[in-house]
Amino acid sequence: MQEATGVLKEGFLVKRGHIVRNWKVRWFVLLQDKLLYYKIEGGKKEPSPKGRILLDGCTITCPCLEYENRPLLIKLKTKTNTDYFLECCSREERDSWALDITGAIHAGHPVQVQELHRMKNSFKLLENISLHHIVERMCDNSAGIKLTRNLEQGNSYKETFTGSALVDWLISNSFAVSRFEAVTLASMLMEENFIKPVGARSTEATRCGDLSEQFLDDSTALYMFAESSKKNISSKEELQFNISELSGTIVKQGFLVKQGHKRKNWKVRRFVLRADPAFLHYYDPTKEENRPVGGFSLRGCLVSALEDNGVPAGVKGNVQGNLFKIITKNDIHYYIQASSKAERTQWIEAIKPLT
């Protein structure tokens, strides 16, 4: 994936199809006036773009919550009213893409770009906090947040909690040290579709422009778990995964290309690196369910960069450049390709201390 001239940003995103509404990983290249996307075959970007999104007159929606199981979406609507849905692998990456695309759309309007920078910088994830871990704790039968039936404007809502109750719970469980921090965290739980507003008061607040004001620290604002959170938490298999391997702090995540073990074909996977316990899991980004398709413990693993000249031994399909290899303590070899030398170095440096 070589950089082209005039490129503002490039990388993997998951795109919804126009005719068949399936999801495919594509390599996106942001230019000043358009967003190009390419098909990846055998770990290589095809020479001609599969399509292009003209940015002139485009509107961007981020966060976009139209798909419950895909909370990390950006929606672009062109001036001809065509909708494009693009999924990122993390909140940080989504915000970065949204910022750069908005910058390209409003290149002649620096005030709007400045405002987006201000919003982005005022709303950062607190250090070392896993949203999945918080939701698990919230759902705990004994120590979790208490779900009650609440009334608002004559309507009854089952299994809900108030905004101020969640803020109190986050502080008492040491996830936040102040009400401001707790509101920021609660806003993120809502933005990532773990919780959702119910009733007029909390729903109306989500229409506010500033992300930090969309969650209300208020005893009359009602919220509940989103369906996707309940499904994930109630699933026995999912819980088993979380307790044994998925409970660690996320250290790094991103899209990488991986060689298959049996068919030796190359596919884009979303990799998630966790510490305590140290595991590397990979997910199929085209699938709805947020469950790993594979993963392994990093204890006793060896990780190293592969030679960039020619195709290294063990690599099939004439794939070369930015490759690295992980050998597990059971002597299973994983061949992985990053999109640049810098990205490969970052992954190797993040993995090594955990082996």
- Between 86 and 21, the higher pLDDT residue: 86
Task: Please give the pLDDT value at position 178.
Answer: 82
Question: Is residue 132 pLDDT above 90, yes or no?
Answer: no
What is the average per-residue pLDDT within 46-61? Answer: 90
Among residues 137, 87, 141, the alpha carbon closest in space to that of 255 is found at 87
What is the average per-residue pLDDT within 223-245? Answer: 56
For the chain, domains (ranges, CATH) are 7-120 (2.30.29.30), 131-225 (1.10.10.10), 243-352 (2.30.29.30)
Question: Is residue 286 pLDDT above 80, yes or no?
Answer: yes
Q: What percent of the chain has pLDDT over 70?
A: 85
Banded model confidence at residue 166, pLDDT cuts 50, 70, 90: very high
- Between 227 and 124, the higher pLDDT residue: 227
What is the average per-residue pLDDT within 18-28? Answer: 87
Task: Please give the pLDDT value at position 116.
Answer: 54
- Between 116 and 169, the higher pLDDT residue: 169
Q: Alpha carbon 49 to chain centroid distance?
A: 25
Task: Please give the pLDDT value at position 227.
Answer: 65
Task: Please give the pLDDT value at position 324.
Answer: 95
What is the average per-residue pLDDT within 204-232? Answer: 73
